[in-house]
Amino acid sequence: MKLGFLVDLNLCMGCKGCEIACKVENNVPLSSWRLRVKYIDIGTFPDTSRNFTPLRCNHCESAPCERICPVSALHYLENGIVNVDSARCIGCAGCMMACPYGAIYMDPETNTADKCTYCAHRIESGMMPACVVICPVEANIFGDVEDDTSHISQYIMAHQGSGVQVRKPEKNTNPKHYYVGGGTQTLDPLAHQRIEGYNLFNNVTHLKHVGDPNHGVLDRFLAPFVGHGEHDNTSMMDWAEDGKSETHQEGGH
């Protein structure tokens, strides 16, 4: 069994329901995303279109994050899922440097690496991932890509002619996450621009921190003895002063 995902970008309408469902299901903290939907505007007025691209872990068959993890916190499950054992993670961020898709984040609550696990806990109970259940147009298709009769395999076969794509195939990671209806401009991060101030709802382009913003280097050593105290990380919600002048910041140091 090899579980995989397929997103039909022709169907996706950018409602971000999957993003929210993922956040709720997995208790993903503020300032972190296991799954996100990126809006890209293509063309020149009046010939323009808005494209929506859900982005999550690709659960690569040859996963660079699994290879670089020094303690096997990132590991394969038998069904092909690349899972995370946050109790073992040392927080070296090697996986964040290795993942070509930027799918891994440092959880600010636990100071350990985390990412999409295809809702492994739900699958274990015979349920579908939360993002699949919530999608109003069934753009998210999930199943066993090694089973020719599964919905996802049938979908891939039916759309071979019109183009089933993966992100960054040149990286030879053999992703198990496919897109139908995508193109270079939506799937290649170098094929579109991020212009400061162009974002619809805010102009925050970069996080100021990696991991817990309220606990510096010394706090990491003291944390087991004093706990997190009164810090609740809600300060991350205060974007007002962060956005405009932000270009880049070193995080977590």
Contacts of other proteins in 188-217 (CB under 8 A): 189-196, 198-201, 204-208, 210-212, 217
- Taking the complex as a whole, the smallest distance from the CB of residue 183 to other proteins amounts, in Å, to 9
Nearer Cβ to other proteins, position 100 or 128? Answer: 100
Applying CB under 8 A, the span of 82-90, 114-122, 143-151, 152-160 interacting with other proteins comes to: 82-90
Nearer Cβ to other proteins, position 40 or 120? Answer: 40
Nearest C-alpha neighbor of 7 from the set 117, 194, 185, 137: 137
- Taking the complex as a whole, the smallest distance from the CB of residue 13 to other proteins amounts, in Å, to 13
- Give me the amino acid identity at 101: Y
106 contributes a contact to other proteins by CB under 8 A: yes
248's CB contacts (< 8 A; 6+ apart) are 206
Contact 55, 35 (CB under 8 A): yes
55 contributes a contact to other proteins by CB under 8 A: yes
101 contributes a contact to other proteins by CB under 8 A: yes
Gap between the Cα atoms of 242 and 236, Å rounded:
10
- Could you say which residues in the range 122-181 bind other proteins, by CB under 8 A? 167, 171, 173
Gap between the Cα atoms of 102 and 92, Å rounded:
15
Nearest C-alpha neighbor of 81 from the set 164, 154, 170, 143: 143
- Taking the complex as a whole, the smallest distance from the CB of residue 160 to other proteins amounts, in Å, to 25
70 contributes a contact to other proteins by CB under 8 A: yes
77 contributes a contact to other proteins by CB under 8 A: no
Give the count of residues interacting with other proteins (CB under 8 A).
74
218's CB contacts (< 8 A; 6+ apart) are none
A 10 A CB-CB count for 22 gives 23
In the block, residue with structure tokens 């073992």: 88
Name the DSSP class of 29: P
Nearer Cβ to other proteins, position 11 or 92? Answer: 92
Selected from 3, 22, 89, 135, the binder of other proteins by CB under 8 A is 89
